[in-house]
């Protein structure tokens, strides 16, 4: 299976197909469909809150957080005060929950953030925060069911716990085989080439520390 640098860094959609209104990697469709059906049989309506995001979308998320338009949260879901932080510290604070453009697993179409559509109304605003996915939380029952059953369909949670890089994200699941192949093809050099094509806040700090950031936030996951 061939993956171009453009696909790996979110600058191409050639690897994607539509799945119930979301774009996903063509290679995971059968497994995702089987997982969705099994969840339905167990009483859940497994739905996708966020699937594929391209480079430009990830860049917009980055810019809004770096410039203070959108809040940045710490490991305890408390807002981070950017005053007094170095450029590198700002980047690391953002990357706790939001990937560097070009380095997001959402670029691959193998990863998505899930929720249980059966438990909400159209007015409910999904927050993708810990309290929604813990036992007793709105999506807690589905999260627990996935923990027990998703592996048989090829899925797992890359951010199952905090390892000093990206925070625990109980809402984020990934098609392991396909995502692992794409991760092996991605590299610091490919990411650097992509990043140099764009202007963004914190660019100098990112490029100066890219190998360390790559290890901390891209490779430092549940294997």
Element (H, E) at 57: helix 55-66
How far is it, in rounded angstroms, from Cα 126 to Cα 120? 9
Residue-level pLDDT, tens digit, the chain, 223 residues: 679 999 999 999 999 999 999 999 999 999 999 999 999 999 999 999 999 999 999 999 999 999 999 999 999 989 999 999 999 999 999 999 999 999 999 999 999 999 999 999 999 999 999 999 999 999 999 999 999 999 999 999 999 999 999 999 999 999 999 999 999 999 999 999 999 999 999 999 999 999 999 999 999 999 8
* Domain limits for position 174: 5-219
Determine the pLDDT at residue 2: 79
Torsion 130-134-138-141 (CA) sign = positive
The CATH number assigned to the domain holding 88 equals: 3.30.1380.10
Write out the two tokens for 1.
């299976």
Determine the pLDDT at residue 141: 99
Determine the pLDDT at residue 222: 98
Q: What distance lies between CA 185 and its chain's CA centroid?
A: 18
Determine the pLDDT at residue 32: 99
Determine the pLDDT at residue 57: 98
3-class state of residue 40 by DSSP: helix
Q: Indicate the pTM of the whole model.
A: 0.95
How far is it, in rounded angstroms, from Cα 65 to Cα 107? 19
Number of domains in the chain: 1
């Amino acid at each position: 299976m061939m993956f171009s640098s453009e696909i790996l860094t979110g600058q191409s959609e050639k690897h994607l197909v539509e799945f119930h209104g979301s774009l996903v990697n063509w290679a995971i469709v059968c497994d995702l469909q089987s997982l969705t059906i099994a969840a339905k049989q167990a009483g859940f309506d497994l739905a996708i809150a966020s699937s594929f995001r391209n480079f430009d979308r990830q860049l917009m998320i980055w810019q809004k957080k770096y410039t203070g338009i959108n809040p940045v949260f710490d490991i305890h879901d408390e807002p981070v005060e950017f005053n007094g932080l170095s450029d590198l510290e700002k980047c690391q604070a953002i990357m706790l929950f939001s990937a560097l453009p070009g380095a997001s697993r959402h670029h691959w179409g193998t990863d998505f953030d899930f929720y249980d559509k059966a438990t909400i109304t159209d007015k409910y605003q999904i927050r993708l925060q810990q309290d929604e996915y813990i036992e007793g939380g709105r999506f807690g029952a589905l999260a627990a069911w996935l923990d027990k059953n998703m592996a048989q369909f090829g899925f797992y949670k890359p951010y199952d716990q905090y390892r000093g890089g990206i925070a625990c994200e109980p809402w984020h699941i990934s098609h392991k085989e396909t995502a692992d192949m794409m991760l092996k093809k991605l590299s610091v050099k490919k990411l650097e080439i992509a990043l140099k094509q764009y202007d963004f806040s914190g660019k100098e700090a990112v490029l100066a520390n890219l190998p360390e950031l790559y290890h901390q936030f891209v490779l430092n996951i549940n294997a």
